[in-house]
Amino acid sequence: MSKIKAVFFDQDGVIIDTERDGHRVAFNMTFKEFGFTDEWSVEYYHELLQVAGGKERMKHHAKTKGFSKPIPDGELDDLVKEMHKRKTALFVELIETGKLPLRPGVHRMMNEALEAGLKVAVCTTSNEKAAKAVTEKVLSDIKFDIVLAGDVVSKKKPDPEIYNMALFKLSLQPDEVIVFEDSRNGVLAANAAGLNIIVTTNGYTEKEDVNDGDIIVTCLGDPAGEKGEMRKGNVNGFDGVLHLDQLMDHFSK
């Protein structure tokens, strides 16, 4: 096993628990602005999360349930693009106003990686503007080596393309990377890319099949805050707070 040289982070659900109270809320606000009465419930949005990408979810909704007013087939793509642009702006506002805090341990883990001289990357299918709101504002003190977001790849998770691109751009081998994911699609993508996988589940993904992850915890944990519970794996010294040196030791054996 090679020495760990980098950590990759998914964004939504890993860095910030954005799905339920961020993206879903922004989608519903957008639908209302565009004259639709559609409102995605917490339960229904969980179903939609099995479809990767916001624009793809709207198209899936249109084709399976249909919006509250008919949309001609030839106009769907343009309308979805327009609504997604507005949804992203609303989502960014939610982040910038501090309504969506970082998940426990994320900021600490990133700092530990920087202090250890590791490369730090974000690999997300979230819109580029949304990713920048997180990496450049909420996490402005963290120096990221690369941020891959949105439509930078042709195939979204569970396809490994975004992780393969990050490996190529940073000249890394798969076993030199620890990735933090939260969902089945993310784990499938990371596994296909051959990465070492830490799963930090959340309310939406705790019941998903993420067993391909090497280590599964409820969160990374903070010494003075919320502690994590380990669902899979055996990390020496784990006491509710997962540290980078523990992971580097675990994956370098």
Q: Is residue 183 part of a domain?
A: yes
- Looking at 96, 114, 143, the residue that finishes a domain is 96
Same domain, 92 and 213: no
Same domain, 164 and 203: yes
Catalytic residue among 10, 17, 38, 182: 10
Instruction: Specify the CATH number for the domain of residue 80.
Output: 1.10.150.240
Strand 177-181 relative to strand 230-232, pairing: unpaired
Is residue 73 among the annotated active site residues?
A: no
Structure pTM?
A: 0.84
Catalytic residue among 12, 38, 182, 222: 12
> What DSSP designation does 34 have?
T
Same domain, 76 and 188: no
Q: What is the pLDDT of residues 203-253, one digit of tens each?
A: 889 889 999 999 999 999 999 999 999 999 999 999 999 999 999 999 987
* DSSP-based helix, strand, coil % in the chain, nearest 5: 45, 10, 45
Same domain, 44 and 160: no
- Round to whole Å and give the CA distance between 161 and 168: 10
Same domain, 85 and 42: yes
- Round to whole Å and give the CA distance between 133 and 181: 19
Same domain, 125 and 221: yes
Q: What is the pLDDT of residues 172-202, one digit of tens each?
A: 999 999 999 999 999 999 999 999 999 999 9
Share of the chain above pLDDT 70, in %: 99
Strand 196-200 relative to strand 177-181, pairing: parallel
Per the document, the length of the chain is 253
- The greatest distance separating any two alpha carbons of the chain, rounded to the nearest whole angstrom, comes to 59
Is residue 12 among the annotated active site residues?
A: yes
Instruction: Specify the CATH number for the domain of residue 118.
Output: 3.40.50.1000
